[in-house]
Amino acid sequence: MPVLRTEDLSIRFGGLAALSGVNFEVRRDEIRAIIGPNGAGKSTFFNCLTGVLRPTSGRILFNGEDITGLSSDRISQKGIARSYQITNILPNATTLENVRIAAQSRRHGWSMLTHYSAYRDIIAKADAVLGLVSLRDKADELAANLSHGEQRNLEIGIALATEPQLLCLDEPTAGMSSAETHDTMQLVRRIARNLTILIVEHDMQVVMELAHRITVLHYGEVLAEGTPAEIQQNPKVLEVYLKT
């Protein structure tokens, strides 16, 4: 069974069909890239999967369960997390607090804060996540003081702290130096051992190196799907996207 499947997923904004009839499936052990020109519907697709937007029609199945139209909190509880195209951290909290708050929302809700053992459990989880995203030495630094690349990785850490089965990354390397991009690719590979990853990315080198398969969106429709080698040679994809 695929971990995620969409059936005829569509969303309209007034007269604009941002997604039309998207049939999509991803396997549990996959890193899947979603590419396409600006405005193709990539972020909108993530917004539908994560309950930020309600699709106009169609269904979203997660582990076979229909999650279409559930709130983003419910979907997070079920195990889908995402990072945003624009960084979404709490700048005036420390690195550790940012991750701790996310871990807490997943595990116990807010009321459990008073229980010391639960709190210790959450701190241990947050610390493990900081290790995974290589930010342990920045735990007590205010998030605002981290470099851009560190902030983007912190955002991945915040998503991981909710213990997802499926992680949606929206342009995780945007604005990064080539060294930071390289580190983030290593990070994505590392975390992909334990969860399914959907990654929206404009950097084709990153896409071709990371993804097992690629889905190309164009005007809200799936234009092509295949391995990196297949996509690089697909005439339709070259025409609308890779050539430009």
Ligand X SMILES: Nc1ncnc2c1ncn2[C@@H]1O[C@H](COP(=O)(O)OP(=O)(O)OP(=O)(O)O)[C@@H](O)[C@H]1O
Residues in the chain: 244
| Residue selected from 10, 36, 62, 151 as contacting ligand X according to rule CB under 6 A | 36
Bridge partners of 83, per DSSP, are: 169
The smaller minimum CB distance to Mg ion, of residues 42 and 82, is found at 42
The smaller minimum CB distance to Mg ion, of residues 38 and 117, is found at 38
CB of 143 to ligand X, least distance (A): 23
CB-count burial class (<10 Å; 0-12, 13-18, 19+) for 36: buried
Note whether 89 binds ligand X by CB under 6 A.
Answer: no
CB 69 within 8 A of CB 221: no
The smaller minimum CB distance to Mg ion, of residues 63 and 85, is found at 85
Residues that bind Mg ion (CB under 5 A): 42-43, 85
Note whether 13 binds ligand X by CB under 6 A.
Answer: yes
Bridge partners of 6, per DSSP, are: 24, 60
* Contacting ligand X within 207-226 (CB under 6 A): none
| Residue selected from 2, 21, 39, 228 as contacting ligand X according to rule CB under 6 A | 39
Other Cβ atoms less than 10 A from the Cβ of 110: the count is 9
Which tokens in the block code for residue 140?
């007590």
| Residue selected from 4, 10, 31, 42 as contacting ligand X according to rule CB under 6 A | 42
Direct distance between the N- and C-terminal alpha carbons of the chain, in angstroms, rounded to an integer = 37
Distance CA 169, CA 188 (A): 9
Note whether 40 binds ligand X by CB under 6 A.
Answer: yes
The smaller minimum CB distance to Mg ion, of residues 99 and 169, is found at 169
Query: With CB under 6 A, what is the number of residues at the site for ligand X?
Result: 12
Note whether 38 binds ligand X by CB under 6 A.
Answer: yes
Element (H, E) at 225: strand 221-226
Site stretch for ligand X (CB under 6 A), options 41-49, 95-103, 128-136, 208-216: 41-49
CB of 44 to Mg ion, least distance (A): 8
Other Cβ atoms less than 10 A from the Cβ of 92: the count is 9
Q: Strand, helix or coil at 231? A: helix
Note whether 41 binds ligand X by CB under 6 A.
Answer: yes
- Considering only the C-alpha atoms of the chain, give the largest distance between any 2 of them, rounded to a whole number of Å: 59
| Of the candidates 6, 1, 48, 49, the residue with the CA atom closest to the CA atom of residue 27 | 1
The smaller minimum CB distance to Mg ion, of residues 32 and 100, is found at 32
The smaller minimum CB distance to ligand X, of residues 47 and 98, is found at 47
Note whether 172 binds ligand X by CB under 6 A.
Answer: no
CB of 168 to ligand X, least distance (A): 12
* Chain-centre distance for alpha carbon 156: 8
- Footprint of ligand X on this chain (CB under 6 A)? 13, 16, 18, 36, 38-44, 85
